[in-house]
Structure formats: C-alpha cells, structure tokens
Chains A and B, each alone.
Chain A
Amino acid sequence: MGAKADVARTENRKRAFGEGMRDGVPIGLGYFAVSFSLGIAARGAGLTPFQAFLASLLCNASAGEYAGFTSIAAHATFLEIALVTLIANARYLLMSCAMSQRMPPGIPLRHRLLMAFDITDELFGIAIARPGYLNPFYTYGAVLTAAPCWAFGTALGTVAGNLLPLRLVSALGVALYGMFLAIIIPPGKKDRVVAVLVALCFAASFAASKLPYLSGLSEGTRIILLTVILAAGAALLFPRAAEEEA
C-alpha cells in the first residue's frame, strides 16, 4: 500500500509540475518583454549584463529591481537600497501571508523556503487561483519556465536595448495584464463582492494615479496603500463566513 501511495504521489507531483511549466509559458513571455526594459534601466545604472542577470535571478521583482537600479544609479547608501527594496516589494509580504494559509498541513520546511523564493504577482496569482492546498511542484514548474526568461531578458536588455521591434515589446507587455485579468475576473461570476471590488479597485487605482500627492508616490507604495485600504474595507463590510473558506 505504501508503494502504491508513493507511485500515486509521484504521478500527482509530475502532473502538477507539468501544469506549472505550461502555465509558466505566458508568464515567461511577459517576463521577457518586461525584463528587457528592466535591463535597459540596469545598463543606465552601470551594471554589467552579468550583474543584471544576477540581480534578476536573485530578486525576481520588477518594481523592486527598477527602484533598486534607480537608486544604484543615484549612488544611494546601502540602507537606502534596503529600504527602497522593502517598500517596492512589500506587497509580496501580504502575498506570502495569504500563501501561508493555503499550505498543506505538515509540509516540510524546505518547500516553504523554496516556494518563497519566487513569489511574484504572476506566480502567486496562478498558484492561488488553483483550488485547494498549494502544490509546491506546480510552483516549481512555473518558476522553472518563467524565472530564466526574467533573468535572460534582463541580461539581453542590458546588452542590446533596442534589439526587439518596439511593436513586439508593446504587444508582449500586456501579456502580464491579460494573466491578471484571467485571475481576477472569473471569481466575480460566483462572488459579486469580488466583481464589485475589482471594479472599485480599477477606479481607485486610476484616481490615485491622477490625484495630487497620491500620484507623487512610487507605484509600489501606491499599490500597498490601496491594497491595504481596499482589502481591509472589503473585509470589514463583507466578512467571509467561515464555511466559505477557499
């Protein structure tokens, strides 16, 4: 029985890994386009292609890296770099909290350590969109497809910023947002609160990008502020019943 269960578990892991790799493809494509432009920023900051590659491989953050490169270009202090990275990436803290609630009971620490490495908007989004407990192997599959695109795209952008035709960069750039939509729109069909909330978020985010003072904040800070305010508001007004747990 033990052997049989082992085989079933291995099969399950393989399937989840394969599905992760497949779902990682559009993410990788989007990453490639976005990281290409990030590479241009890295070159502006005086990083070599290898350094840009390394930064992307280790940091996996668009806004965070961009903020970091900008600070490097300005010869910021180490403390400043750390703070800027913290603020630009603070939303990953919230995502990590949300993921902690969906971890299978008794999962080994090594999976927690590995799964944390590449919590990004996109990889978090596709993992959390699956029903039930998070499957580490799904995440590994997606990371293995997407993360190299991110790192190589950055390096390539540093080497040759103007290699891809602008039209292609422009088209690839919306792939990420298409994925976001595929995650946030379908739940609204079943849960009207989510549907209205998403519409409200669009409006609030648009307003925040135009309003004085708020529009002066960095994009990362604005995202955190809006996330905390809007999610807290929704949780206060429309708390979820215990049995509705995802």
Chain B
Amino acid sequence: MKINYLYILIMAGVSYAIRVLPLTLIRKQIKNRFLQSFLYYVPYVTLAVMTFPAILGATQSRVSGLLALIAGILAAWLGADLFKVAVLCCIVVLGAEAFLL
C-alpha cells in the first residue's frame, strides 16, 4: 500500500521532467530550418495520429465513432470552434448509438 506512493512519486517525477526540461532549457529561437519545420509539423502530426483510428474504439460501436469523426471534420472545416466541434461529436455518438444499439 505504502509502496504505491513511491510508484506515484516516480511516475510524477518522470512526467514532470519530460515536460519541464525543454521548456526551461531551450531559451533561443531555433534557427535551423529543418528543426523549425519539424516542430511546426509536430502538433498536427501527433494529434492526427492520436485521433485516428483511436476515435473508432472510443465508442461502443465503431460506426458511431466514424460518424463522429466525419461530423467533426466537416464542422471544423466549416469554422466551428473547439467547444462546438467537441459537443457535436458527443451528440452524434449519443444519437447514433440510440439507433444502433
């Protein structure tokens, strides 16, 4: 039981170190064009990779996940903000699963 606190402490320490080191140590603007471009693309790539196909497994039925994905892409493309896209995806899943399940 008490050992769990040690486990948690290690998890917390490593998690924070990963996040704080680059942010505190990199003080200069990176001039290298490749690195600059790489860091520019990282957020899009990592979020895209995490979204698909994981969204299909987040719901009870893969079809409702797929519908939420399509609705979310359309709404975001048409200019809906963060909150609206998120809520729309939830509603699509609720609606779809009411039919599907």
Contact = CB atoms under 8 A, between A and B. Distances in A.
- Closest 10 pairs between A and B when the two form their complex, measured CB to CB: A178-B89, A201-B48, A58-B12, A235-B37, A185-B76, A178-B86, A96-B22, A116-B20, A100-B26, A26-B86
B100 to A, nearest CB: 11
A198 B55 CA distance: 15
Contacts of B8: 51, 54-55, 58-59
A48 B52 contact: no
Interface in B44-80: 44-55, 58-60, 64-65, 68-69, 72-73, 75-77, 79-80
A112 interface: yes
Chain A interface residue count: which class?
35 or more
Contacts of A59: 8, 11-12, 15
Interface in B8-61: 8, 10-16, 18-27, 29-30, 33-55, 58-60
A179 B97 CA distance: 20
A213 to B, nearest CB: 17
A221 B75 CA distance: 30
Interface of B is mostly: helix
Interface residues of B, number: 79
Tell me the interface secondary structure of chain A in the complex: helix
Nearest to B64: A170
B60 A166 contact: yes
A48 B1 contact: yes
